[in-house]
Amino acid sequence: MLQTRPPRLPSLEDIEQAARVVYRQFQATPQYRWGLSSQRLGTDCWIKHENHTPVGAFKIRGGLTYFDALKKRGALPAQVISATRGNHGQSIGWAARSHGVPCTIVVPHGNSLEKNVAMRALGVTLIEHGRDFQESREFAIALAAERGAHMVPSYHADLLLGVATYWWEFMRAVPQLDVVYVPIGQGSGVCAAIAAKLALKRSLRIVGVVSAHATTYADSLAAGRVVEAPVSTQLADGMACRIADQLALAIIAPHIDHIVQVTDDEVAQAMRQLYADTHNVAEGAGAASFAAAMQQRDTLKGQVVGTTLCGGNVDSATLARVLGG
């Protein structure tokens, strides 16, 4: 069963201190009420642009606070290892480089070519292993043990703390939000949204979004326990999780309003719509939030809706294919 006592979430003071760590590298990202997207959705639609961070996705915030916490504890390791489909790896690569720590990242075979190139540009040693993220993760854990390296997980309280700064920015900038749609990969994004909501004492609803082709979080929440689910998404690699995280589930379960599943076709349509409306590039997971809102637009009339373009790191060939329909 899911844990009855969720882990402690960061306080408002914790998040404000984390923001100061993040802002050493870059400033708050913008959020806009886009007219065309609002017209398309049939109500006020705000989009938070985490595609505007230095690595093109929200994950960098968590990497910065994770390494800051290691440094404050006097525990900076000699080397770190992690696993990713791309954005988490860029985050860890960026933060490791900032602290002078060698970084190895494991990705599955067939991973995004351009995400791989971006990680290498940050000084990451890249290893391709496994058919999916879970196999890459298991290999990374074994490799870290073999080398005596520090294994950076995909979900951790110190990662969540940094990610919470973007939801804190969004909720402060648009206090009238009634509902936000949050993509779920390994869980840091949605748990961070919950943390920011509670810290700011807001009453908005948080809707989780999963790929219809990677349903472990939806299935686990429905069952009240971790349920492994196959992954077949070809577009939303940032949501391609096969096994939900127990700690993340314990936070999500009591605070989520409901879960929406979006197909690759719906995600592709949202990528096209976001480009047409904002001329911003969204990767699959980055468009999932808007795809979910569009799926539920008939229920959103008169509400102020928050969506997140949480990443724009899509391979050029994939983007060309999607935009071409």
Q: Which of 131, 151, 171 is the last residue of a domain?
A: 151
Q: Which of 151, 172, 189 is the last residue of a domain?
A: 151
Residue 1 in any domain: the answer is no
Q: Which residues contact 225 (CB under 8 A, 6 or more apart)?
A: 1, 2
Residues 52 and 69 in one domain: no
Residues 247 and 202 in one domain: yes
Q: Structurally, how many domains does the chain consist of?
A: 2
Environment class of residue 292 by beta-carbon count within 10 Å: exposed (0-12), middle (13-18) or buried (19+)? buried
Assign 7 a pLDDT band (cuts: 50, 70, 90): confident
Q: How far apart are CA 175 and CA 66, in angstroms?
A: 28
Residues 300 and 264 in one domain: yes
Looking at residue 4, what is its pLDDT?
A: 55
Residues 118 and 162 in one domain: no
Residue 145 in any domain: the answer is yes
Assign 1 a pLDDT band (cuts: 50, 70, 90): low
Tens of pLDDT, residue by residue over 96-114, are 999 999 999 999 999 999 9
**End-to-end alpha carbon distance in the chain:** 43
Residues 129 and 196 in one domain: no
Q: What is the pTM of this model?
A: 0.96
In order, the DSSP letters of 113-161 are HHHHHHHHHTTPEEEE-SSSHHHHHHHHHHHHHHHTPEEPPSS-HHHHH
Task: Please report, as a single letter, which amino acid is at residue 265.
Answer: D
Pair of tokens at residue 16:
């404000």
Q: How far apart are CA 118 and CA 15, in angstroms?
A: 28
Looking at residue 129, what is its pLDDT?
A: 97
Looking up residue 135, the CATH number of its domain turns out to be 3.40.50.1100
Q: How far apart are CA 227 and CA 218, in angstroms?
A: 9
Q: How many CB atoms lie within 10 A of CB 42?
A: 15
Residues 113 and 171 in one domain: no
Strands 45-49 and 31-33: antiparallel
CA neighbor of 237 nearest in space, from 220, 261, 213: 213
Residues 93 and 44 in one domain: no
Q: Which of 123, 151, 179 is the last residue of a domain?
A: 151
Tens of pLDDT, residue by residue over 151-182, are 999 999 999 999 999 999 999 999 999 999 99
DSSP, collapsed to helix, strand or coil, labels residue 81 as: strand
Residues 41 and 108 in one domain: no
Environment class of residue 139 by beta-carbon count within 10 Å: exposed (0-12), middle (13-18) or buried (19+)? middle
Q: Which domain holds residue 95?
A: 60-151
Q: How many CB atoms lie within 10 A of CB 203?
A: 7
Residues 308 and 163 in one domain: yes
181, 209 Cβ separation under 8 angstroms: yes
Tens of pLDDT, residue by residue over 252-301, are 999 999 999 999 999 999 999 999 999 999 999 999 999 999 999 999 99
Q: Which residues contact 290 (CB under 8 A, 6 or more apart)?
A: 37, 45, 47, 181, 270, 273, 274, 282, 307, 309
**Residue carrying the six token digits 């520090």:** 150
Residues 169 and 104 in one domain: no
Residues 276 and 313 in one domain: yes
Residue 26 in any domain: the answer is yes
Residues 188 and 281 in one domain: yes
Looking at residue 325, what is its pLDDT?
A: 87
pLDDT at 8 exceeding the cut of 70: yes
